[in-house]
């Protein structure tokens, strides 16, 4: 093996095959490229990707979107199945059926040394669509490892371009720079007017400038961005659809992967900021980490009523309440659980029924996670797990050991 670097590439294929009677067969496989230098592995991965695209093109299963990117087209009867699945009352069953018929060809960067990963790159803020994808595919279907980063993709469904370009700029390029690999001929500057542009507050093109290694993908132009903004401001269709998705999840009620908390900081007994609400949230996060992951809605009562974050906001009279809430969340994680678990948590403040709700999507950890609890001036470590719709402390040492031994922990 010539590759002594702790990262390589994989091409992952998930396609549907149809016979003359329209019977459907799933074909999923992965091709690994790790035996040459990083740049050669990357080139070979893209060549392999293009080979699959040629095969789909010959079968007339590719079309281009308005920007010129390829989309995998599906037969009418598959579209009808998906449309029917979307109408099912059981949200999670609906998601599983939809996921079954999704098709995609992706290139992933895989980093084998997590210490290098943590020292070289910082994870970008997850986009809303990425949160929804985690709800759709990860927490309830299958979880991707935290050391795998999608850098190119063609699919039968819409996906968040922001996550792809973040992975290219924030994860891939820094690895090449860290190991002093000459990529001067492969670097390109592109402009993507997406989440980073809208949140930057900049009114110039430099707000969307990204430096990445070359890919054939065509990114969002300023015209596309403005068209999207104008469309949302007039009919607000995307926001309505997003709210419906979150409402469906909330309406299911609390279970082993869904939990509601009324506030992050505000103590309703003392009507002040307190450590108690943070502690209860930290317990839930710890339990999700040690179980099967889950989604925590902060700003929703135990009965599923959306009250929002106004009580928390009242503690910060200035205009930066949202930023303060996210900083308090970071403080909570650092104090009770440690920053090492941060990659397993995606957070976002979203508007649901006109009220702000803090949403945490927590992935299952790779190893047991302990909460640091101060008792009688001493720090004690406690392990929590998720039951049917509650958080349970493993206080008995024998019970704790048996749980750790019996649980199959995910591998990084």
Whether residue 127 sits in one domain with residue 77:
yes
**Do the domain assignments include residue 384?**
yes
**Do the domain assignments include residue 2?**
no
Whether residue 272 sits in one domain with residue 139:
no
Q: What is the pLDDT of residue 292?
A: 84
Whether residue 59 sits in one domain with residue 172:
yes
Cα–Cα dist 55/51, whole Å: 6
**Do the domain assignments include residue 248?**
no
**Do the domain assignments include residue 95?**
yes
**Do the domain assignments include residue 131?**
yes
Domain containing 315 — which CATH number?
3.30.950.30
**Do the domain assignments include residue 48?**
yes
Cα–Cα dist 204/167, whole Å: 23
Whether residue 17 sits in one domain with residue 57:
yes
**Do the domain assignments include residue 157?**
yes
Whether residue 219 sits in one domain with residue 169:
yes
Whether residue 226 sits in one domain with residue 114:
yes
Cα–Cα dist 363/130, whole Å: 13
Whether residue 270 sits in one domain with residue 225:
no
Whether residue 143 sits in one domain with residue 258:
no
Which of residues 171, 199, 231 is at a domain's end? Answer: 231
* CB contact at 8 A, 366 and 411: yes
> What is the domain count for the chain?
2
Closest C-alpha among 188, 212, 208, 224 to residue 68: 224
**Do the domain assignments include residue 411?**
no
Whether residue 292 sits in one domain with residue 222:
no
Tens of each residue's pLDDT in the chain, 412 residues: 456 899 999 999 999 988 777 788 888 999 999 999 999 999 999 999 999 999 999 999 999 998 899 999 998 888 888 888 777 766 666 777 788 889 999 999 999 887 777 777 654 444 444 544 544 444 343 344 568 899 999 999 988 888 899 899 989 999 999 999 999 999 999 988 876 565 554 544 556 888 999 999 999 888 777 776 555 443 333 333 344 467 878 888 888 889 999 999 999 999 999 999 999 999 999 999 999 888 899 999 999 999 999 999 999 877 678 888 998 999 999 999 988 888 888 888 989 999 999 999 888 888 899 999 987 778 889 999 998 878 999 988 888 998 888 887 765 5
- The three-class DSSP label of residue 261 is strand
Whether residue 204 sits in one domain with residue 90:
yes
Whether residue 186 sits in one domain with residue 220:
yes
* CB contact at 8 A, 263 and 318: no
Whether residue 402 sits in one domain with residue 269:
yes
Domain extent for 383: 253-406
């Amino acid at each position: 093996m010539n590759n002594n670097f702790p990262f390589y590439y994989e091409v992952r294929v998930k396609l549907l095959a149809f016979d003359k009677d329209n019977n459907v067969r799933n074909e999923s496989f992965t091709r690994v490229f790790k035996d040459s230098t990083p740049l050669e592995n990357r080139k070979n991965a893209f060549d392999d990707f293009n080979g699959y695209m040629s095969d789909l093109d010959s079968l007339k299963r590719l079309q281009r979107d308005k920007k010129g990117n390829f989309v995998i087209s599906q037969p009418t009867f598959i579209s009808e199945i998906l449309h029917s699945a979307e109408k099912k009352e059981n949200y999670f069953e609906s998601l599983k059926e939809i996921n079954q018929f999704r098709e995609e060809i992706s290139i992933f960067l895989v980093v084998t040394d997590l210490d290098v990963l943590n020292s070289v790159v910082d994870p970008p803020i997850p986009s809303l669509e990425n949160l929804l994808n985690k709800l759709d595919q990860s927490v309830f279907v299958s979880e991707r490892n935290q050391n795998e980063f999608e850098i190119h993709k063609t699919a039968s469904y819409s996906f968040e371009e922001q996550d792809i370009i973040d992975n290219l700029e924030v994860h891939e390029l820094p690895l090449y720079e860290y190991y002093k690999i000459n990529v001067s001929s492969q670097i390109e500057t592109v402009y993507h007017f997406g989440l980073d542009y809208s949140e930057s507050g900049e009114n110039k093109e430099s707000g969307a400038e990204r430096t990445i290694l070359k890919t054939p993908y065509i990114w969002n132009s300023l015209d596309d961005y403005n068209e999207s903004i104008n469309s949302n401001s007039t009919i607000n269709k995307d926001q309505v659809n997003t709210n419906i998705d979150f409402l469906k999840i909330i309406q299911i009620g609390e279970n082993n992967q869904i939990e509601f908390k009324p506030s992050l900081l505000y103590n309703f007994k003392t009507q002040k900021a307190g450590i108690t609400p943070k502690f209860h949230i930290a317990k839930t996060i710890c339990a999700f980490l040690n179980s099967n992951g889950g989604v925590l809605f902060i700003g929703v009562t135990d009965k599923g009523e959306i009250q929002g974050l106004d009580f928390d906001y009242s503690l910060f009279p200035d205009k930066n309440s949202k930023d303060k809430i996210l900083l308090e969340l970071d403080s909570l994680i650092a104090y009770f659980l440690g920053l090492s678990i941060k990659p397993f948590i995606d957070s976002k403040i979203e508007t649901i029924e006109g009220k702000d709700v803090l949403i945490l999507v927590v992935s299952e950890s790779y190893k047991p996670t302990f909460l640091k609890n101060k008792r009688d001036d001493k720090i004690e470590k406690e392990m929590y797990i998720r039951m049917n719709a509650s958080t349970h402390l493993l206080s008995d040492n024998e019970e704790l050991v048996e749980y750790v031994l019996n649980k199959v922990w995910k591998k990084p």
